[in-house]
């Protein structure tokens, strides 16, 4: 149980954290399928650069408060980064990984440089990079709920098409999937959602919640369908555990949730080993096909 | 079998950043079995990618019948399997099914498609644990699950054992007789001698095509190349 009064103070933050902990692993599955696991971090840095730029030209007080202009600038850069990455993989541009790394490094450094001499500027950027989930507002609750609902509907309605687009764009194009439209729409959505999550909860929690639950769930899941419910389940459980620990130990709950999700990965490996030790069934699938 | 063409190419040139094959004139019709033959690197796969709309033509035009646009099956030379996430063969095959089909029905169709390539037992297996030949059969099932009118297979028999290759060839021949147009991309002419109704020869950037009976033995000999 969380301490008395925590819900009254941080109810919105808890709900936002739980919603994002369910949403982000679903995006994480997509990014892993597209071999773009680090894209979440690049998008986050791009969003940070957009916000820093807006602050730099007067779109905010540099104190960590985000104006509409700053939010728009952050979201625009995040969406542009995600769309470019989605398109790069669809056209088999081998340089997309290098570009993601370039974006991460350039945006991460440039955002700090832009505000290095501004009052509270560097502090504002650091808040975005490191901040915890506690700053989330009622508006963030609504935003996170809407984004999660969109993803659930899209997976139910276009799950197979999304899968074909993610794994095998040439095949998807031949069977009539509008690959370019998917690149634009899905890229824009992923960029927006990750940019939103970063502004609500910070880069560490967003990146951790996007990637770590997928890494844990994929060890235990037997199919893609089971991965799509197991990964969000791991994410929500890690957030719950992390928030409880943070509340008890009086440490930042966002970072606690990331640590719990990180611990879930080797734990999942151990569980799998125990399970496969009990049942001498199918051999562990390998990345390379058997001869 | 005759009828209106499913796909027509006129004065087509294909290539990525330069012309690889030029002078392509082609008409594909229902019930035909085409073999696109040529040495490795001759431009066969580039030609097929252009016909499928994956590459823009460098010159000329391609017309595809409206009834065929959403009824094309395609088996790439190297189908992409995701190595880092679990995925059942049923899920992989179901990728070929359009939206709107419910999950249970999609699985039944995936099972039927796998059955057609002698791989029904793979339905609930993780594709990461399959052999190369099994993966190829799963990829062919993904193309067949759409009940295509035009089926394009890039090196379809590569990595298949003799039994699986023979079963697949028999199944494709049966489907062709039922009206499917099959386009094989191959560099070995043995199977083409048995199954081809039409040949397309790609060599030194030039293209020649026509009924196998008309092109005759010379065409097969040309495709095989000089004896070692």
- pLDDT for the residue A257: 92
Tens of pLDDT, residue by residue over A56-86, are 776 555 455 556 777 788 888 888 888 888 8
Judge whether A22 and A148 are in contact, CB under 8 Å: yes
Whether residue A253 is contained in a domain is answered as no
Nearest residue in chain A measured CA to CA from B128: A285
Q: Which residues form the domain of A117?
A: 6-202
Mean pLDDT, chain A, whole residue set: 83
Torsion A95-A98-A99-A100 (CA) sign = positive
Tell me the percentage of chain A whose pLDDT exceeds 70. 85
Query: What is the residue-wise DSSP string for A114-153?
Result: HTTTSTTHHHHHHHHHH--GGG--HHHHHHHHHHHHHHHH
SS3 B211: strand
Q: Which of B85, B68, B87 is nearest to B5 (CA)?
A: B68
Residues B191 and B171 in one domain: yes
Q: Which of A30, A28, A25 is nearest to A231 (CA)?
A: A25
Test mutation, B45, B78, B95, chain A, max A CBs within 10 A? B95
Instruction: Using an 8 Å CB-CB cutoff, list chain B residues near A168.
Output: 76, 79-80, 95
Nearest residue in chain A measured CA to CA from B159: A291
Judge whether B109 and B101 are in contact, CB under 8 Å: yes
For the beta carbon of residue A119, count every other beta carbon within 10 angstroms. 11
Whether A158 has a pLDDT exceeding 70, the answer reads yes
Closest Cα in chain B, distance from residue A141 (Å): 31
Alpha carbon separation from B78 to A223, B72, B81, B139, B217 (Å, rounded): 22, 18, 9, 9, 30
Partner residue facing A289 (CB), from B95, B132, B152 = B132
The count of domains in chain B is 2
Residues B31 and B138 in one domain: no
Whether residue B118 is contained in a domain is answered as yes
- pLDDT for the residue A143: 93
- Residue A149 makes CB contacts below 8 A (sequence gap 6+) with none
Cα separation of A109 and A52, whole Å? 11
Whether residue A244 is contained in a domain is answered as no
- pLDDT for the residue A131: 60
Instruction: Using an 8 Å CB-CB cutoff, list chain A residues near B98.
Output: 160-161, 175-176
Nearest residue in chain B measured CA to CA from A289: B131
Residues B60 and B161 in one domain: yes
pLDDT of chain B along its 228 residues, tens only? 567 899 999 999 999 888 999 999 999 999 999 999 888 888 888 999 999 998 999 999 999 988 887 889 999 887 888 888 899 999 999 998 888 888 889 999 999 999 988 889 999 999 999 988 888 889 999 999 988 999 999 887 776 777 777 878 888 888 899 999 999 998 767 777 888 899 898 888 888 888 877 666 666 666 666 555
Instruction: Using an 8 Å CB-CB cutoff, list chain B residues near A288.
Output: 83
Partner residue facing A158 (CB), from B53, B99, B129 = B99
Nearest residue in chain A measured CA to CA from B50: A174
| A137 in reach of chain B (CB within 8 A) | no
Whether residue B76 is contained in a domain is answered as no
Residues B140 and B207 in one domain: no
| A27 in reach of chain B (CB within 8 A) | no
Residues B64 and B153 in one domain: yes
Whether residue A219 is contained in a domain is answered as no
The count of domains in chain A is 1
What's the distance, Cα to Cα, between the start and end of chain A in Å?
53
Interface predicted TM-score (ipTM) of this complex, two decimals: 0.83
Judge whether B175 and B148 are in contact, CB under 8 Å: no
Alpha carbon separation from B33 to A39, B27, B66, B136 (Å, rounded): 44, 12, 21, 20
Instruction: Using an 8 Å CB-CB cutoff, list chain A residues near B69.
Output: 176
Instruction: Using an 8 Å CB-CB cutoff, list chain B residues near A287.
Output: 83-84, 128
Q: Do B126 and A225 touch (CB under 8 A)?
A: no
Whether residue B183 is contained in a domain is answered as yes
Instruction: Using an 8 Å CB-CB cutoff, list chain B residues near A173.
Output: 52-54
Q: Please give the interface size between A and B, counted as residue pairs whose CB atoms are below 8 Å apart.
A: 107
Alpha carbon separation from A255 to A84, A93, A241, A247 (Å, rounded): 29, 35, 11, 12
Q: Do B146 and A175 touch (CB under 8 A)?
A: yes
Cα separation of A139 and A146, whole Å? 11
Which CATH number covers residue A43? 1.10.3470.10
Nearest residue in chain B measured CA to CA from A28: B85
Tens of pLDDT, residue by residue over A20-39, are 999 999 999 988 887 777 78
**Residue B48 has which token pair?**
């097929």
Residue at a domain's end among B147, B163, B186: B147
Residues B89 and B14 in one domain: no
Residues B174 and B134 in one domain: no
Whether residue A222 is contained in a domain is answered as no
Q: Which residues of B54-79 are buried (b: 16+ CB within 10 A; e: fewer)?
A: bbebbebebebbeebeebbbbbbeeb
Partner residue facing A283 (CB), from B73, B95, B129 = B129
Q: Which residues form the domain of B183?
A: 1-71+149-228
Whether residue A240 is contained in a domain is answered as no
Residue at a domain's end among B117, B147, B177: B147
**Residue B153 has which token pair?**
């297979």
């Amino acid at each position: 149980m969380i301490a008395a009064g925590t819900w009254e103070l941080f109810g919105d933050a808890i709900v936002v954290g739980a919603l994002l902990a369910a949403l982000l692993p679903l995006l994480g599955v997509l990014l892993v399928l597209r071999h773009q696991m680090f894209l979440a971090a690049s998008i986050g840095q791009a969003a940070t650069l957009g916000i820093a730029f807006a602050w730099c030209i007067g779109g905010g007080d540099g104190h960590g408060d985000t104006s509409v202009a700053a939010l728009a600038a952050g979201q625009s850069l995040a969406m542009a980064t995600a769309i470019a990455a989605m398109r790069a993989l669809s056209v088999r541009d081998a340089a997309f990984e290098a570009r993601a790394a370039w974006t991460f490094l350039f945006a991460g450094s440039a955002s700090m440089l832009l505000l290095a001499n501004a009052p509270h500027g560097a502090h504002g950027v650091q808040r975005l990079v490191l901040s915890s989930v506690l700053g989330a507002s009622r508006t963030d609750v609504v935003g996170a709920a809407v984004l999660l609902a969109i993803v659930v509907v899209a997976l139910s309605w276009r799950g197979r098409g999304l899968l074909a687009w993610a794994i095998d764009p040439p095949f998807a194009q031949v069977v009539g999937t509008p690959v370019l439209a998917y690149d634009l729409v899905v890229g824009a959505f992923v960029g927006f959602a990750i940019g939103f999550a970063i502004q609500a909860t910070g880069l560490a929690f967003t990146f951790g919640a996007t990637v770590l639950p997928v890494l844990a769930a994929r060890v235990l899941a037997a199919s893609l369908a089971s991965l799509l419910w197991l990964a969000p389940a791991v994410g929500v459980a890690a957030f719950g555990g992390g928030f409880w620990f943070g509340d008890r130990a009086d440490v930042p709950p966002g970072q606690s949730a990331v640590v719990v999700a990180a611990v879930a990965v080797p734990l999942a490996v151990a569980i799998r080993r125990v399970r496969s030790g009990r049942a001498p069934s199918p051999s562990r699938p390998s990345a390379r096909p058997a001869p | 079998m005759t009828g209106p063409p499913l796909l027509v190419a006129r004065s087509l040139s294909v290539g990525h950043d330069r012309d690889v094959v030029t002078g392509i004139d082609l008409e594909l019709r229902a019930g035909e079995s085409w073999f696109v033959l040529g040495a490795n690197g001759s431009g066969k796969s580039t030609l097929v990618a252009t016909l499928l709309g994956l590459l823009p033509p460098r010159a000329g035009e391609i017309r595809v019948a409206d009834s065929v646009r959403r009824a094309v099956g395609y088996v790439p030379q190297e189908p992409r399997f995701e190595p880092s996430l679990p995925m059942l063969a049923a899920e992989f095959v179901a990728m070929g099914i359009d939206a709107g089909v419910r999950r249970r029905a999609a699985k039944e169709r995936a099972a039927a498609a796998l059955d057609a390539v002698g791989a029904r037992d793979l339905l609930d297996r993780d594709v990461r644990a399959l052999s190369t030949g099994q993966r190829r059969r799963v990829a062919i099932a993904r193309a067949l699950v759409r009940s295509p009118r035009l089926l394009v297979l890039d090196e379809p028999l590569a990595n298949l054992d003799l039994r699986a290759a023979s079963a697949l060839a028999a199944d494709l021949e049966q489907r062709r007789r039922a009206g499917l147009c099959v386009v094989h991309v191959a560099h070995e002419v043995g199977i083409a001698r048995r199954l081809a109704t039409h040949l397309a020869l790609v060599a030194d950037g030039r293209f020649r095509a026509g009924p196998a009976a008309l092109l005759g033995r010379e065409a097969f000999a040309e495709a095989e190349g000089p004896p070692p």
